Amino acid sequence: MTQKQRLIYSVIISLVVLAIMLGLSWMQKGGMIGEKPFQYIAIGVAVVVVVLNGIMRRKVKP
């Protein structure tokens, strides 16, 4: 994986996270989910993103 590929994947991941968080926020405002599930899902998304970033960082060739 090159630096350019990593940058592209990072942008895609950040857009997906933004969409997930906006969707969760919309669901919470609509009363579909409560505060605790919102927090747990948000923390889970953050952990997945950190793990993906670490994996991509290791795969970049100098």
Q: Concatenate the DSSP letters of all residues of 20-61 into one string.
A: HHHHHHHHHHTTSS-HHHHHHHHHHHHHHHHHHHHHHHHH--
**Domain that includes residue 43, residue range:** 6-59
**Amino acid, single-letter form, for residue 42:** A
- pLDDT of the residue at 57: 86
Name the pTM for this structure. Answer: 0.80
- pLDDT of the residue at 56: 87
Q: Is residue 31 part of a domain?
A: yes
User: Would you state the structure tokens that stand for residue 30, as one six-digit string?
Assistant: 């609509």
Kindly list the averaged pLDDT for each block of 10 residues, start to end, along the chain of length 62. 87 95 94 93 95 88 70
- pLDDT of the residue at 62: 66
Q: Is residue 17 part of a domain?
A: yes
Q: Kindly report the backbone phi and psi dihedral angles of residue 49, in degrees, each rounded to the nearest multiple of 5, phi listed first.
A: -65, -40
Q: Is residue 21 part of a domain?
A: yes
